[in-house]
Structure 1
Amino acid sequence: MGGTGSRAGLSDSEAPLREALEALLEALLPVSPGNDPGPLVRLVALLRPRALAGKGSDASRPLAVFIMLLEARPELAGALRGYLSDLLAARNHSFLLAEGGVLGATGFFTSMRERLINRILPPAINPQFLQDLIEEVFHDAGDACWLASISLAEWQRLLEAVGWGRGGDTPGEAQLRRAHREAMRVLACRLAATGIEPEIVRYQPALALYESPFLGLQRELELMLESMPNASPRHRQMPDMAHVEVLLDQCSVALLKLRRQARDSGAAVRLGWLLTRAGQIVDRLRLLLAISHPDSESLAGASSLLALLVGAVSRRNSLRELVGSVTDQLARRVTEHASQTGEHYIARDRREFHALFRAAAGAGVIVAVMALFKGFITSLGLPPVWNALALSLNYGAGFVLVHLSGFTIATKQPAMTAATLAAALEPDHPGSSPADEIADLIVQVCRSQFIAILGNMLLAMLAAGAIALVWQHGSASPLIGAAQARHLLEDLHPWHSPAIAHAAIAGVCLFLAGLISGYCDNLAIYHRLRERILRLRWPRALLGDARHLRLASYLEHNTGALIGNLALGFMLGSMGTLGFLLGLPLDIRHVTFASANLVLGLSGASATTLHAAGITLLGVLLIGLSNLAVSFSLALHVALKSRRIRPSQARGVGRHLLWRLIHRPTHFFWPPGEAPRTVR
């Protein structure tokens, strides 16, 4: 055992830790455990910061105690160096260095399936690979953060205490160096292959016509590796890496251009996968090149790489990380389509305000007719599946008719205007006041939403009432029977029925329909739908050249809206049947349909008090509020995340909104006669 002087400066809580570390290392003195990871697992468990947590000791002290022990007992440091060398020499490192934290070539959906299977049934440990050793040793979720927090000075002191990289190479050090070179070679080949993928060349044909930086990097890196001597970094003359670093910069620029171009030409999961994978390979090559320098930059790169690999191994079965890293480009593109559509739902002046009311009023009339058809379908007593199909077709056909007629349904606005609001947090003019502009936009959105809801509800009520009166006048009997009328009114009661919860479910459906619409718009651009339709011969022969061109242009800009409306119709129409089949209280309540049902129920009710009618009207208003709040909050959350916008970027908006609410409250419901002054 070491002398008592070596224990000076240790607190009472640190003495047991030192004794445990000392006992562990002394067990390595007689004979090295070879490829057995057990001692290393126990060593890392002792060094984790929480080993002394809650005992009045600094979180970094376990490592400091370990380093002091190695400095005081060189024989223990030598035993540890030999053990680590045996561990590293017996394992393959190339796969970890080249693949850890880098997307594979299998594709998004295959990787998703593999990760899901591995989460259910973890793969077996293979003692021949370093990646499996990392998974065994650094199994704690916070290990990556802990390793990243260790300073370069601590790493330097630890390596010097162990004797790593000093004197002759151990088998483990030689294996690390060979794996380092091989990993760079593998990564360069994979980057070159990714750079000439058809999906990539399609966006930048110049990559096929001129010298591709991806191919040039692979050739230059191979030449550099051939000229790199096999000796350790301290005893070799490193080749010039400047040209390789320039080509890496060119690859980064090419990937940035591809991402920007994808925003205008549409994005796909496959393209997002390739761009993300190529970017990760470029970053890994930079890190491996940094390690090649025989100076302090090498240690910084090695410590960063270790933390990165440990984090990558701990998250290699994470579904959230996979989805987030690949679909961010697609999510942004989808929300940008919604943002462009949302511009049409915002009334900035009185002319647009009145036009929005007329469009909402037209939709209200159509919805009133749809509500009557819904009641008729429900009264038929069809089997559940056929009832769901009939209701879905009723909703879907009605929503498509609303779109084809140029009308608007108010509850579809939030999914679009939320994306517009998120886009406003990225001002194009640095000299403008973002908070003031966003406050203006929110006011415009509020009054646009108000007039659209008013138009939908008012005309749905008037149309339903007119239809009920005409029917009663012509047939001398109410359109809705007393029992059905009572059922309609009971379904709208705000607290005696689950109407508000069902309205929230409808809000989720409205949000999903907005995503579907944006995704289909993106696909229409990505697959160049207009050009494909123009290549069809039978529409040209049937319609003529001019109509064929108009049809292609219309479908290019409206495919997303048409499919989104159909999807919304099927979601709303089948939700009740889905709940019945699953035994869950699932259903939907939509404010415009609820408005028509309110009037239809009142027209067929035998006797209704004014108080009961008022409570039911309150239920309709709360249904509308729930529809809007849920769809808007979900859409805004996705739009902000797709643009990587933090809530702090909207700082100051509340103050501007409060000022407008106090001084200009009518602007939230009615457009001003002239442009409002900005807050100074």
Structure 2
Amino acid sequence: MIKTKKQYSVKEVFETHIKGEALLPHNELHLLYDLVRYFRPKRASHTISLLELIGYLQEHPSHCRILSDYIKNLLSNRHFGRMISEVGILQDSSFFYELRKRIMEKFIPFQPEKDTLQYVLNQVFYRASDYIWLEKIDHNEYRSLFELLNFTDIFASEQTSSYGLNQLCNAIGLITQRMSGRSLESDIIYMVPEYGYLESPFLSFEREFEGVRENLLHGEPLQENNINYKQLMVLFRQCQDFVQHAYKNTSKYGITMRVNQGLLRINQQLARVKILIDLLVVNTKKDKIDNTICMALKLIEYNCYKNNIRSFIKESTQTVAYEITQFNASTGEKYITETAKDYFKMLRASLGAGFIVGFLCIFKILFHKVDTSEFGHAFLYSMNYAFGFILIYLTGSALATKQPSMTATTVARVVEEGMKKQSKEEDKHSEFAEFFARLWRSQFIAFVGNVIMAFGVALLLVWGIDKFLGENIVAHSWEKLLSDASPAHSKLILHAAIAGVFLFISGIIAGNVSNNQKHNQIAYRIEEHPFLKRMIGTSKSKKLGLWIAHKYPGIISNFWFGVFMGSTFSIGSFLGLDLDIRHITFVSGNIAMGLYGTHFYLIWSMWIWIFIGLIIVGFINFIVSFGLSIWIAFRSRNIPSPEVFSLIKAVFRHLKKAPMSFIFPPKQKKKLL
């Protein structure tokens, strides 16, 4: 029977493995495993103490000697150079390869060779959170245990200790060589053309460290006031500047996932090198023991942290997400009105989108009558939506639900600027509250324009077809059109949320296409294309390149949004799931056609339900799309989640102060002559 921690003591742990003056012959890791298991807290956040172990060893010198010899023999000549240079650092430029690898190793951990230190750590400190409680232990207790067990530091002249120092230096040298090679690859140099004709700081750093390593291995200590150390740190900062410069240039050159992974890997290697070099710095005699203890803790931390998926995704996607959302920010500015002129301009643009959607509603009804397969209907619906959305985009019309995903990044920027202000909590986000009022009324008037025009056009068209062609196209579908618009008669909320997710994804697609175009210099390639220059001239080639750079992301985004919207029902039907989409503008058009089919004769409760349904669809479309987009935008700018509560308070304060500003633009004050 396995005993719990409360049922036994440190004494029992030792007596289980030691008889007389010798260890029992069993697996070499059992004693260390049980000691760690005894002290491991139920929660990693809990703080523990090693005083019980220290006191027991002081009272039992023979067991102290046995434990010392046991651990020394266990760790003697264990290889750890490759581990310290690789574990916890990206090993591939492919995001999905690394993600698959980490997920797999979560369930089936990688097991190294038995002569390595990583094998011991895998077996003993096998929980991903072990390094957390180990770091909480008082460092003085580690030092007391270190001296009590008569361990030697890695700087000692004994062969076993110098073996550890040699491996540590080799690991740093290996990392510097890898950084040098990766930094010279063409996709990285492309991000920092300023370094294209200069000597790589990584090569200089590599050469400088070789000199430091020779001195260390010959017994010369590395100190902070040492000229070699100072020169090494100067070159290290130049390497950091290289990476930071590459990240700054992403706004100019864009960035791909592969390049981002390469830069992230170099950044991780730089951070690792700095930590390892700091462990080599010895200013006082006490530093030798402290640095040895710190190195042991770092090895455990790296091994525990190596398969962390959440941090990997966050680090890998943050820069790319920032660049993707930057496109949406520049595009989203036009969706936020300020003056009365802008307000009514938005109304006109939304009326234009509603006009086109009215036709799309009619076309979908007609396509539904086509005798084809489920896939055929999905294709027809998708093309109907896709080309309709593209037409809305190219004509400068405004589909209200497309606004949230485009405006979220602009909102995040305003929040970020407010956080930088050194002011009272009440004033810190006052500008954001005013900005949000502008955004809300812009959304409101866009919804109004879309809904009114889509309703009117769809109603006029279905009446015209019936009047002039003698066919009521909604004679058999009006009941479904109306029930789909009612939250009491369909899964309207779920279907509206699905549409909100697609709106969010379409915004991400637009930003990603724009980012890739920028990185691959598509506009410049078209401008300088020899065939195009000869056929249409240099000036028109340039205009074409600029037009594609500006419009192509939006075209692709709207195309895929249409495909998502048009194929959802068919995919759900194939999978046996009740999946569909509800978009406020289309719901408005469908209601118009459904009402025509009933000759406007409905029971009063159905009138109420379809009215409530229309409002719910608009709200869900907006809140889901905006919520997901703002989450990405906040994350890309490292804005903490708790800041949301301060923003909500600021908005409510502004709502009390100027409630009508959320519906209508403020009157402009006349200038005094």
Range 608-617 or range 139-148, more displaced: 608-617
Residue 241 of structure 1, aligned match among 203, 219, 229: 229
- CA gap 1:547/1:37 in 2 versus in 1, 3 angstroms: same
Q: 1:356 maps to what in 2? A: 346
Whether 1:115 aligns to 2:108 is: no
Residue 406 of structure 2, aligned match among 383, 396, 416: 416
Q: 2:30 maps to what in 1? A: 38
Structure 1 Cα separation of the partners of residues 410 and 491 of structure 2 = 32
| Structure 1 gaps, min length 5 | 1-12
Residue 453 of structure 1, aligned match among 447, 452, 462: 447
State whether residues 279 and 294 of structure 2, in contact with CA within 8 Å, keep that contact through their aligned partners in structure 1: no
Structure 2 Cα separation of the partners of residues 360 and 514 of structure 1 = 18
CA deviation after TM superposition for structure 1 residue 22, in Å: 3.4
- CA gap 1:314/1:444 in 2 versus in 1, 3 angstroms: same
Q: 1:317 maps to what in 2? A: 307
- CA gap 1:643/1:28 in 2 versus in 1, 3 angstroms: farther
| Deviation readout 1:280-335 (Å, 9 max, x if unpaired) | 11111111111112345555555555444434323433433322222211011111
CA deviation after TM superposition for structure 1 residue 675, in Å: 7.8
Structure 1 Cα separation of the partners of residues 389 and 66 of structure 2 = 75
- CA gap 1:27/1:628 in 2 versus in 1, 3 angstroms: farther
Q: 2:537 maps to what in 1? A: 544
| Deviation readout 1:534-567 (Å, 9 max, x if unpaired) | 2323433443333322111011122221111111
- CA gap 1:614/1:675 in 2 versus in 1, 3 angstroms: farther
Structure 2 Cα separation of the partners of residues 240 and 112 of structure 1 = 39
Structure 2 Cα separation of the partners of residues 232 and 17 of structure 1 = 45
Residue 550 of structure 2, aligned match among 542, 557, 568: 557
The one-letter code matched in structure 2 to 1:382 is T
Residue 674 of structure 1, aligned match among 664, 668, 671: 668
CA deviation after TM superposition for structure 1 residue 507, in Å: 0.7
Structure 2 Cα separation of the partners of residues 289 and 569 of structure 1 = 55
The one-letter code matched in structure 1 to 2:40 is R
Structure 1 Cα separation of the partners of residues 610 and 275 of structure 2 = 65
Whether 1:199 aligns to 2:193 is: no
| Deviation readout 1:318-355 (Å, 9 max, x if unpaired) | 43332222221101111122122211110011111111
Structure 2 Cα separation of the partners of residues 293 and 311 of structure 1 = 20
The one-letter code matched in structure 1 to 2:185 is E
State whether residues 148 and 303 of structure 1, in contact with CA within 8 Å, keep that contact through their aligned partners in structure 2: no
Aligned runs of 1:206-217 on 2, under 5 Å? 206-217=194-205
Residue 245 of structure 2, aligned match among 257, 263, 266: 257
CA deviation after TM superposition for structure 1 residue 208, in Å: 3.3
Whether 1:586 aligns to 2:579 is: yes
Residue 660 of structure 1, aligned match among 654, 662, 669: 654
Structure 1 Cα separation of the partners of residues 288 and 222 of structure 2 = 11
State whether residues 343 and 417 of structure 1, in contact with CA within 8 Å, keep that contact through their aligned partners in structure 2: yes
CA deviation after TM superposition for structure 1 residue 33, in Å: 7.0
State whether residues 68 and 150 of structure 2, in contact with CA within 8 Å, keep that contact through their aligned partners in structure 1: yes
State whether residues 415 and 432 of structure 2, in contact with CA within 8 Å, keep that contact through their aligned partners in structure 1: yes
Aligned runs of 1:61-72 on 2, under 5 Å? 61=49, 63-72=50-59
State whether residues 365 and 473 of structure 2, in contact with CA within 8 Å, keep that contact through their aligned partners in structure 1: no
CA deviation after TM superposition for structure 1 residue 441, in Å: 1.2
Structure 1 Cα separation of the partners of residues 26 and 20 of structure 2 = 10
State whether residues 364 and 460 of structure 1, in contact with CA within 8 Å, keep that contact through their aligned partners in structure 2: yes
Q: 2:482 maps to what in 1? A: 489
Q: TM-score, normalised by structure 1?
A: 0.90
Structure 2 Cα separation of the partners of residues 60 and 314 of structure 1 = 19
Q: 1:7 maps to what in 2? A: none
Structure 2 Cα separation of the partners of residues 661 and 234 of structure 1 = 62
| Deviation readout 1:33-91 (Å, 9 max, x if unpaired) | 799323221121112134999xxxx9423x11112222333333332232222222242
The one-letter code matched in structure 2 to 1:385 is F
Residue 19 of structure 1, aligned match among 11, 15, 18: 11
Residue 559 of structure 2, aligned match among 554, 563, 566: 566
State whether residues 169 and 232 of structure 1, in contact with CA within 8 Å, keep that contact through their aligned partners in structure 2: no
Identity among equivalent pairs (%): 27
State whether residues 89 and 306 of structure 2, in contact with CA within 8 Å, keep that contact through their aligned partners in structure 1: no
**DSSP-derived class of the 2:22 partner:** coil
Q: 2:456 maps to what in 1? A: 462
| Structure 2 gaps, min length 5 | none
CA deviation after TM superposition for structure 1 residue 158, in Å: 1.8
| Deviation readout 1:263-293 (Å, 9 max, x if unpaired) | 3321211121111111111111111111112
State whether residues 103 and 277 of structure 1, in contact with CA within 8 Å, keep that contact through their aligned partners in structure 2: yes
Aligned runs of 1:211-230 on 2, under 5 Å? 211-230=199-218
Q: 1:48 maps to what in 2? A: 40
State whether residues 468 and 479 of structure 1, in contact with CA within 8 Å, keep that contact through their aligned partners in structure 2: yes
Whether 1:498 aligns to 2:488 is: no
Structure 2 Cα separation of the partners of residues 654 and 503 of structure 1 = 24
Q: 2:170 maps to what in 1? A: 182
The one-letter code matched in structure 1 to 2:382 is S
Residue 645 of structure 1, aligned match among 639, 645, 649: 639
- CA gap 1:29/1:391 in 2 versus in 1, 3 angstroms: farther
CA deviation after TM superposition for structure 1 residue 474, in Å: 1.5
Q: 2:266 maps to what in 1? A: 278
Q: 2:365 maps to what in 1? A: 375
Structure 2 Cα separation of the partners of residues 301 and 257 of structure 1 = 32
- CA gap 1:301/1:101 in 2 versus in 1, 3 angstroms: farther
Aligned runs of 1:603-642 on 2, under 5 Å? 603-606=596-599, 607-642=601-636
CA deviation after TM superposition for structure 1 residue 262, in Å: 1.5
Q: 1:5 maps to what in 2? A: none
Structure 1 Cα separation of the partners of residues 26 and 33 of structure 2 = 14
Q: 1:163 maps to what in 2? A: 150
- CA gap 1:671/1:614 in 2 versus in 1, 3 angstroms: same
State whether residues 102 and 280 of structure 1, in contact with CA within 8 Å, keep that contact through their aligned partners in structure 2: yes
- CA gap 1:239/1:118 in 2 versus in 1, 3 angstroms: same
Structure 2 Cα separation of the partners of residues 217 and 234 of structure 1 = 16
Residue 347 of structure 1, aligned match among 327, 337, 340: 337
**DSSP-derived class of the 2:543 partner:** helix
- CA gap 1:395/1:542 in 2 versus in 1, 3 angstroms: farther
Structure 2 Cα separation of the partners of residues 27 and 267 of structure 1 = 63
State whether residues 131 and 297 of structure 2, in contact with CA within 8 Å, keep that contact through their aligned partners in structure 1: yes
- CA gap 1:142/1:621 in 2 versus in 1, 3 angstroms: same
**DSSP-derived class of the 1:210 partner:** coil
CA deviation after TM superposition for structure 1 residue 214, in Å: 0.6
Structure 2 Cα separation of the partners of residues 51 and 542 of structure 1 = 71
Residue 595 of structure 2, aligned match among 560, 581, 602: 602
- CA gap 1:30/1:333 in 2 versus in 1, 3 angstroms: same
Range 634-643 or range 13-22, more displaced: 13-22
- CA gap 1:173/1:238 in 2 versus in 1, 3 angstroms: farther
CA deviation after TM superposition for structure 1 residue 169, in Å: 6.0
Residue 427 of structure 1, aligned match among 414, 417, 421: 417
- CA gap 1:68/1:297 in 2 versus in 1, 3 angstroms: same
**DSSP-derived class of the 2:217 partner:** coil
State whether residues 402 and 408 of structure 1, in contact with CA within 8 Å, keep that contact through their aligned partners in structure 2: yes
State whether residues 409 and 633 of structure 2, in contact with CA within 8 Å, keep that contact through their aligned partners in structure 1: yes
Q: Give the aligned length.
A: 657
Structure 1 Cα separation of the partners of residues 215 and 616 of structure 2 = 74
Structure 2 Cα separation of the partners of residues 180 and 255 of structure 1 = 25
